[in-house]
Amino acid sequence: MKYTQLGRSGLSVSRLCLGTMNFGWTAEEPESHAIMDSALGHGINFFDTANVYGFGENKGRTEEVIGNWFAKGDRRRERTVLATKLYAPMGDWPNEGKLSALNIRRALDASLKRLRTDYVDLYQFHHIDRATPWEEIWQAMEVAVAQGKVLYVGSSNFAGWHIAQAQAVAARRNFTGLVSEQSLYNLMARTVELEVIPSAQFHGVGILPWSPLQGGLLGGVLRKEREGKRRLEGRAKEALQKHRERIERYEAFADELGHEPGDIALAWLLHQPAVTAPIIGPRTSAQLEAAVRAAGVTLDAKTLSRLDDIFPGHRPAPEDYAW
């Protein structure tokens, strides 16, 4: 496994980040523990979760599963760069969600308890909070850092100007600010190339793409459909119908290259200069093995150009839509 720095920080993280959203419900706890053990065995040291994972009545369950895994010892916590998130409401009472100083304090302490650890390496804002000023947010994070409960701060689903605004206020306070941004980014979803990625690169913020296979559409969905292994419904089915021609070309190109479609999609992200680590979300150990295999795929300039032809991207703004 290769490693890189998280944004402009000195923190070394693996080029793949283990997403845990499925742990504790789609993947039961024993399987989740096996996946995490296997990830460490492959050299993946970067794990991502969120306080809301588990969802519905089971919010927080995923963090509990990870905490139980840490409790097994064998330096599991020490070998893991742990990232979690806050924003979504964890209850129905006021101040149980978003980014007020009160919720930051309460949500962080609750996550630490579920995770059975005394600090989080990367604490991330799951969404922008338009009602809370950055001065309040950064003051709360400065306290958390001073207490040793948080080491680095990141964002998720931010616009480019949100990153710029956050960093400007942090700089006035002589605070490090953001070191990472989680964004929807893959061959089929490239809107962040307009302004989010340029802003992140300017401010030294590493990009952590989520949904690298676009909900499975880039993972060989047509082949699985033909083999009767997968049947899409709802919005996923509509998306496949809308993009079927491009996906057909993509899967045929993957066959031409001799690689699985999912391997190509992950490898493409790893070739993007702004990307620190795509977030993979395996439900089984076999899916983890497939993602690790993709990390070793090299794409040349001609291949990257062909992929751009199939799934056109964006130039940075404003050139993409103006002179």
pLDDT digits (tens, 9 = 90+) for 222-280: 988 888 777 777 777 888 889 999 999 999 999 999 999 999 999 999 999 999 999 99
Residue whose pair of structure tokens reads 């706890």 in the numeric block: 29
The per-residue pLDDT for 170 is 98
Angstrom distance (rounded) from CA 133 to CA 198: 24
The domain spans of the chain are 3-310
pLDDT tens-digit readout, 148-167: 999 999 999 999 999 999 99
The per-residue pLDDT for 225 is 83
Residue whose pair of structure tokens reads 């962080």 in the numeric block: 108
Reported as a pLDDT band with limits 50, 70 and 90, residue 310 is very high
Angstrom distance (rounded) from CA 155 to CA 216: 24
Residue whose pair of structure tokens reads 């839509």 in the numeric block: 321
User: The whole model's pTM is what?
Assistant: 0.96
The per-residue pLDDT for 97 is 98
- Active-site residue identified among 53, 87, 123, 185: 53
Angstrom distance (rounded) from CA 175 to CA 153: 10
Which residue type occupies 59?
K
Residue whose pair of structure tokens reads 């439900």 in the numeric block: 283
Q: 111: burial class by Cβ within 10 Å (0-12, 13-18, 19+)? A: buried
Angstrom distance (rounded) from CA 180 to CA 121: 12
Q: What is the mean pLDDT of residues 279-291?
A: 94
Q: What is the mean pLDDT of residues 297-314?
A: 98
3-310, CATH topology level? TIM Barrel (3.20.20)
Are 203 and 164 in contact by the 8 Å Cβ rule? The answer is yes
Residue 321 among the catalytic residues:
no
The per-residue pLDDT for 78 is 98
DSSP strands (E only) in 172-218: 178-184, 206-210
CA 203-209-211 angle, to 5 degrees, is: 160
- The set of long-range contacts for 241-249, using a CB threshold of 8 Å and a minimum separation of 24, is 243/188, 243/217, 246/188, 246/310, 246/311, 247/217, 247/218, 247/221, 247/222, 248/222, 249/310
